Amino acid sequence: MVDPIELALDISSSAVPLAIPALGWLALFLLAWERPTFAEALGLGSRTFWLLFVGSILGWLANLPIAMIEGSLLAVDLSGAAFPFVIAALLIARLVRGSRRASWAAALGFAAFGSAVIALLVVAPPWAGSVGAIAGVGAVSAALAVALARAPGRSFSQAVPATRLAIWFVLTVGVSVTTYALATPSPGVGVSEPYPLYLLPPVAVGVLAVAIWPAGPDRAFGLPIAYASSALGVLVGADVWRQPGLYGAGTVQLYSIGGAGILDLVYLSPLLALLAALATYWFVDGRWRLPSDTVVRDGPPRLDAAFSRAFDAGARGEIRASIEASCEAARLAAVNAHRLLASEPAGPDPWNGLDVPSWVHADFANLSALAKSGSDDTRDGIRAYLAARGLAGIATRLVRRRYAKPSARIVAFLIDLAIVTGPAAALWVAITASTGGSLDRLLSSPTFLAAAYGYPAAAFLYFALGDRWTGQTIGKAAMRIAVRDRALERPSLLASLVRESTKLALLTVVGIGGALAVALAWHGAGGLAGGDLTTSVGALPAILVGATVAAGTALLGAIGLLIVLWSDERQRLGDRFAGTWVVTSRPTATRPSPAPPPEPRPAPVPEAAAPPGPRGS
């Protein structure tokens, strides 16, 4: 007889892990696009959405090896652990923004907490690993961190957010201890938690992170606190503190922190905590008020956003607002052109100083006059929108020479691909040559797997850190092009990660396919016979795999090139998501156009001479 409760648990245990990412992505999307200022102020804007959505899906197989322990290799999965950790760290940085002391207190306090517990687990008696002992260490670490944040000093400010730090630390300790109590290490498998108990800590921390605040705008801090507390709590409580139980049992494996990708608890738990925090915030407040000391720095306004506002306002029948948004879009087009060409407008007309015909100035003047006077005529709204679109097209053609040429971008990428693939190929050959036995044994070797899965992670970091540190990789520097945000500055860390995350598909094809091709070429074996790789057919399998890698790389590269050519601003998907441009290192000189001459005034018409005749009556 079928137990309905057990059947329901079996079905839900498979459905819930799939539902949490989908609901989390939907919530982040709605928050970032429906409440953009609120979301950006808390660090939960569009770039966070793209990294946790597209980046995490594409980075599932990218694992960066970090240590070898008793023959087994420990790695960090980009999507399942690295990306949630980065988001959590950036959220904490926003929570303690304005105080260097509080930032150091957060970092040092949490590091001391994790290290002290590891020391207890490794060198102390068995009782030291109890939940009570770990909770005590957490309480002491939290108290020391908050005391350090509040301590007076030259860098101390009265606005130090020590309260936020204390709430985050206490909740993180709670999640860490609870997760440690629930998690079980299984050699050869990994660390796991029982369903549905693993759902309780993130839901509880999401509710508490919001409910613990008094009524007021600062209650919104509960959203980033919920995500950061759950992400770091699960990461430490399960994947760090329970790791020692995986080794020493005679099983040699490649263990990956966050190895299940978007289905890993390090990824699922903070999303679930954020969902619970959003639901609680909507229930107890729901007014989406900005916290009192937040500063939104989203860079210059985006041209496409202005056109979207104009179109949406027109569709709602708000003609005056649509005309104003169209005028703003035309102004932004000129401002972007000046920024890219390193020029300045002369006078109130933003088109002054640009190499444009005189009628452009007249069209913008007419559009500005219409926006100032206002109109409720639908035809005026349509004409304003089309005029702004035409002016934006002129600006785009004017600055196109500043955008990096597609050919330069292709050559730069090929140079960078050769730089990251050359050493990796040599490593694949060395591991293949030094691993004795059959091809089957090689492909199951933790070292070989780490080299194959580590390539896309290492190559991704090469591209992302190059963008962040200098705006250039070696290939871009050779071609004299650079990545810049819309203020023509080096992109932020989050923007760099988002931009390069779209390369993970191509890098995974090259890494895993290339390593497999090297292994097949070395062993000269391929084919499946009863599940074993035993049929020797020479170099044919290696050639086929190599051709597949080349074809896949070319196809993905061609898709990216088509997107660049299709874009007015020569952006690929990563640039669109991150809000970046790829430009030449130095602006091309442009011939500014003089300000339009004043419109000629018609000469006064003299009065007609009176016909001769008698005067008077």
Strand pairing category for 72-77 and 254-257:
parallel
Q: Tell me which of 234-248, 358-372, 558-572 is least confident.
A: 234-248
In this prediction, residue 502 has a pLDDT band, given cuts at 50, 70 and 90, of very high
pLDDT at 17 over 80: yes
- State mean pLDDT over 393-406: 88
Q: Look at residue 155 in the predicted model and tell me its pLDDT.
A: 42
In this prediction, residue 202 has a pLDDT band, given cuts at 50, 70 and 90, of very high
Q: Which residues pair with 532 in a beta bridge?
A: 529
pLDDT at 97 over 80: no
Q: Is 592 exposed, middle or buried (0-12, 13-18, 19+ CB in 10 A)?
A: middle
Q: Look at residue 526 in the predicted model and tell me its pLDDT.
A: 44
- State mean pLDDT over 337-357: 85
Q: Higher model confidence: residue 121 or residue 549?
A: 549
**pTM higher than the cut 0.75:** yes
- State mean pLDDT over 562-580: 90
Q: Higher model confidence: residue 596 or residue 413?
A: 413
Residue 254 near residue 69 (C-beta atoms within 8 A): no
Q: Look at residue 175 in the predicted model and tell me its pLDDT.
A: 92
Residue 325 near residue 310 (C-beta atoms within 8 A): yes
pLDDT at 68 over 50: yes
Q: Tell me which of 91-95, 568-572, 589-593 is least confident.
A: 589-593
- State mean pLDDT over 484-507: 93
Q: Look at residue 296 in the predicted model and tell me its pLDDT.
A: 59
Between CA 280 and CA 360 the distance in angstroms is: 52
Percent of the chain with pLDDT over 70: 86
Q: Higher model confidence: residue 497 or residue 486?
A: 497
Q: Look at residue 308 in the predicted model and tell me its pLDDT.
A: 86
Q: Look at residue 99 in the predicted model and tell me its pLDDT.
A: 65
pLDDT at 124 over 70: no
Mean pLDDT, the chain, integer: 84
Q: Look at residue 390 in the predicted model and tell me its pLDDT.
A: 93
Q: Tell me which of 230-234, 285-289, 508-512, 559-563 is least confident.
A: 285-289
Q: Tell me which of 44-48, 288-292, 519-523 is least confident.
A: 288-292
Local structure of residue 570 (DSSP, 8 states): -
- State mean pLDDT over 455-464: 97
Q: Look at residue 595 in the predicted model and tell me its pLDDT.
A: 47
Q: Look at residue 125 in the predicted model and tell me its pLDDT.
A: 59
Of the ranges 14-18, 370-374, 426-430, 530-534, which is most confident? 426-430
pLDDT at 602 over 60: no
In this prediction, residue 14 has a pLDDT band, given cuts at 50, 70 and 90, of confident
- State mean pLDDT over 104-111: 78
Q: Which amino acid is at 515?
A: A
Q: Tell me which of 11-25, 582-596, 602-616 is least confident.
A: 602-616
Sorted by sequence, the CB contacts under 8 Å of residue 240 that are 6+ apart come out as 114, 118
Burial pattern 291-325, b for ≥16 Cβ within 10 A else e, equals beebeeebeebebeebbebbbebbeeebbbbbbbb
In this prediction, residue 607 has a pLDDT band, given cuts at 50, 70 and 90, of very low
Q: How confident is the model over 125-168, as pLDDT tens digits? A: 565 556 777 777 777 777 777 776 666 544 434 444 677 888 88
- State mean pLDDT over 372-378: 89
Of 422, 439, 454, 435, give the one whose Cα is nearest residue 521: 439
- State mean pLDDT over 57-70: 90
- State mean pLDDT over 337-345: 84
